[in-house]
Amino acid sequence: IDAWAKSNDPEAADKAEELLNYMIDNSQDDHGDNSIQPNSRSFTCYLLALANTSGVAQKAKKAEWVLNTMHHMYNKTRNKHIRPNAFVYNYVINVCATACDNERESFAIAANAFKTLHQSKYAKCNSFSYSFFIKACSNLLPDGDERSKLVVKAYRMAEKDGFATEQVNYQLKQAIPPGMYSKFVLGS
């Protein structure tokens, strides 16, 4: 799955999904092979393949499926290696940010993943969480006050949590009007 995630093949996401489904299908029943049970890295690699493959329909829904599947598998097995971690949530948000169809639905999925990560007892936000969420706002919401307010709120949260990194600042600059960015960050 990792090889497909790093591939430039236009079918990389589909091929990674086939492998992931094979792993899931062949490890879930009593006669399954536990040695091929997927873990959070397997799912994260699939999400990376989704994010890196252009033209994939329903990217955000597929990313949401990953979270739902992982939660289901974790609740069934209590295997900590299958429990969604910050990497998984971050990649779900990033996949949504790269979705080209149904922007409102894609944003809703990204926002839900961001909110769930913030409320999680076992996964914590990091600079990528904020960077990818601001990127999702920029790519999926129309220019305007709603987007700017949401982006500024996310940036303030990143500052408060100590994650206002160069990458988060870059995404902020892409997401809000230039005059607002100058006033906001540079204080001019």
Q: How far is residue 117 CA from its own chain's centroid? A: 10
Handedness of CA 52, 63, 56, 177 (dihedral sign): negative
Among 156, 138, 155, 135, smallest CA distance to 147 is for 138
Residue 67: predicted pLDDT: 96
Burial-class residue 146 by CB neighbours within 10 Å (0-12, 13-18, 19+): exposed
Q: What share of the chain is helix, strand, coil (3-state, %, to 5)?
A: 70, 0, 30
Provide the residue-wise pLDDT of the chain in tens; the chain has 188 residues: 999 999 989 999 999 999 999 999 888 665 656 678 899 999 999 999 999 998 899 999 999 999 999 999 999 889 899 999 999 999 999 999 999 889 999 999 999 999 999 999 989 999 999 999 999 999 999 999 999 999 999 999 999 999 999 999 999 999 998 888 877 766 64
Burial-class residue 97 by CB neighbours within 10 Å (0-12, 13-18, 19+): buried
38: three-class secondary structure by DSSP: coil
Handedness of CA 18, 68, 108, 93 (dihedral sign): negative
Residue 32: predicted pLDDT: 56
Residue 188: predicted pLDDT: 46
Q: pTM value? A: 0.91
| Tokens matching residue 156 | 């303030």
